[in-house]
Structure formats: structure tokens, C-alpha cells
Amino acid sequence: MSLTLHSDFLKLQNSEPYLLGISGGRDSVALLHLLLENNYSNLVLCHLNHGLRGEDATGDAQLVSELAEKYQLQAELGHTDIKLLMQQNSQSMETAARHARHQFFAQCAIKHNSSNVLLAHHADDQAETILFNLLRGSAGLRGMSYQTQYKINGIDIQFLRPLLTISRANINAYLEEHNILYRDDSTNAEAIATRNRLRNEAIPLLENIMGRDIRQPLLRAEKVISLNELALKQELAGYQLKDPQGRLFLPTIQSLSPALQRIALYDYFKAHQVPDISDRLLTQSLTLLEKNPGKSKINLPGDSHFRRKEKRLFIEGKKN
């Protein structure tokens, strides 16, 4: 079986250095082999132990080390304590883990002089994300982008998802056909997180009710919405939205249509790693654009604020 990586990714130079986020699981191991097949061999394997799975996690790190040695690649093996971070920062497990990974990738980016991080999200992950965002009211049918830009600790990081158009079934078939070893994370089958419950309980139930695969309709609907949003973003690109300090120009934002205002705020929050960007949060934040707002700041998830001051809008109180 031959799998084709995302068309936008294949346009990139394979001689450039890339950081590969690798857990040792089936998806990231499959991505590693597909990258090597396509001559993307200037890779650094970046593995972070979240401190949640004991000896199983040790085995994951061992596999990553063996893969690095086998293919003569560099490896960065990190360790963190997610439960401690959850307590210290009053965060959910998913938020604390995501923040820890971002910090780890930023360190790897500095050390290896590479701003490109490759992640192994695939088409089934995309469908689950679309459903998750729809149910929690996160700006409708929104999935993951192939490419996402972040600024972490002052470092510009670009996350790329080369597997985003490939299904889990095809990844499994590829691994089996090529007899590729990987590690299974048993917690993926446990109902301990919202996404796991969507994957293991909600989606199978919906498919049973509908009598068909619901992932493809979700993906098609998101694609239509994404094309419409792309057109709006292209229009948005014609505006000077930020000052040299990265703050939003209030008069410019106020001059936009409501649809463009919402997209501008969503993208600004996303770039600043604001977690759990819901429709409710965006609606509250948009009140700061009113001529005489009743308040000068809006509370954001993660102990930060979105503030209006002297014709500027910006995030304060957040440690990047």
C-alpha cells in the first residue's frame, strides 16, 4: 500500500530540518516511515514523556531511541509531570499536556534551529475534532488546519500535519503491510477524556443510528466551510490589523464586518495559545469593540485577559 502525504507538505524542501513529534504510537511511527520514503531524512525525533503511564511510557521512549539509532537520526527525549502542572496551573489534563508539548517543541526548535514541527494527526482525528468543536460551540464546523502558526516563548513555531488527509484504516493497513512495529497506548481505549469518549462511544453510536460512516460527511462539510473561511481570510489579509508590538488596532477591527471581526479574534487567540476558544468566548470578546463597552477586559481561559486600552486590543497576564 502506498500513502500520499498532504500535497502542500510535499511542496516543501526535503533537505530542510524538521522536528517530528513522535509518541511511538502507530500514527507517528507511520509518519516517520512515510517521511523517510519521501526522502525527508533531516529529522529530529522529539518525544515527551508526560509522566502518566509508568513503565509503558519508558517503553515508548525506548522505541523512539531505537528508531533514531536505526535510521541515524537525532532524538530529543523529554520528561514532564502533567499531574503536577494541572495542579499548579488549574488546567485540565489535555490543556496541561498541550502546553507542555509546546514548551518542549520550542526548546527543540531553538536547539536544532528548526521552526517546523511535524504532527501525526490524520483524517479520523480531523473528523473527531470537527464534531468536538461543533458540540462545544467552537465557531461551528471547524477542524484542524494543515498548517498552524504559534509564537512560543518568543519563538515562531509552525505545526504541519502531513497525514491530515489519510484515514486511520489506511494507516493501519500500511503498518501491517510493511510489518512496522509501534507501541499501542492503552489509555486511548479508556473513557478518561472527552475525545476518547467521542472516538470510542459517540461516533460508533452515531454510525449505528445513521447506518453509515459519519466521518466522511463531517470532513466534506468542514471542507466547504473552510473554503468560505479562506475567502474571508484572504480579504482580511488586506488590512493592517496589528501594531509593531503585536497588538490589534481597535479602529481597524471596528471597521470590519462581523464575520471578519470574529475570524480576526479567533486567529489572534489561536496564535497566542488561548485554550478552549468557544463561540461564547468570541461573543464576549467582541463586546470590547463597541463604542462604549461596559468593561475594559474579558477573562480568558488560562488565567489571562483580553484587554482594550488606548485604541489597542491585546492579551495580558499570559506567560508564553
Question: Helix 258-271 vs helix 279-286: angle between axes, to the nearest 10 degrees?
Answer: 110
3-class secondary-structure state, position 99: helix
Element (H, E) at 197: helix 194-197
Residue 2 phi/psi, 5° resolution? -115, 130
3-state secondary structure of 156: strand
Which grid coordinates are listed for 168? 486511520
Contact between 46 and 73 under an 8 Å Cβ cutoff? The reply is no
| pLDDT given at position 298 | 94
pLDDT of residue 318: 54
Residue type, 105: F
CA–CA distance, 43 with 118 (Å, rounded to integer)? 10
pLDDT beyond 90 at 89: no
Please write the tens of the pLDDT for every residue from 13-46: 999 999 999 999 999 999 999 999 999 999 999 9
Q: Count other Cβ atoms within 10 Å, centred on residue 227.
A: 9
Tell me, what's the pLDDT at 289?
95
Domains of the chain as residue ranges with CATH = 9-196 (3.40.50.620), 239-316 (1.20.59)
Position of cell 510489518? 179
Give the full edge-to-edge strand order of the sheet including 155-160.
74-79, 43-49, 18-21, 116-118, 155-160, 147-152
Q: Which of 69-78, 118-127, 150-159, 185-194 has the lowest mean pLDDT?
A: 185-194
Angstrom distances, CA of residue 320 to CA of 102, 104, 107, 155, 200: 10, 13, 13, 10, 34
Res 191 pLDDT > 70: no
State the pLDDT at residue 186: 57
DSSP secondary-structure letter at 172? H
Closest alpha carbon to 195 in 137, 104, 117, 130: 130
Cell of 13: 524542501
pLDDT (0 to 100) of residue 192: 55
Q: State whether residue 13 is helix, strand or coil.
A: coil
Segment 186-198 mean pLDDT: 67
Instruction: Give the SS3 label for residue 183.
Output: coil
Q: What is the model's pLDDT at position 320?
A: 43
Average pLDDT over residues 75-87: 93
Chain mean pLDDT for the chain? 90
Q: What is the pLDDT of residues 45-62, one digit of tens each?
A: 999 999 888 888 899 999
Q: How far apart are CA 159 and CA 147, in angstroms?
A: 6
Residue 236 gets which letter from DSSP?
H
Residue 187's pLDDT band, with cuts at 50, 70 and 90, is low
pLDDT of residue 272: 85
Question: What is the per-residue pLDDT across 157-184, written as a single tens digit (0 to 9) for each?
Answer: 999 999 999 999 999 999 999 999 999 8
Percent share of the chain, pLDDT over 70: 96
Identify the pLDDT of residue 188: 59
pLDDT attached to residue 279: 83
With a pLDDT cut of 90, the percent of the chain lying above it is 68
Here the contacts of 221-227 (C-beta below 8 Å, separation 24 or greater) are 221/130, 221/141, 222/126, 222/130, 222/141, 222/142, 222/143, 225/140, 225/141, 225/142, 226/143
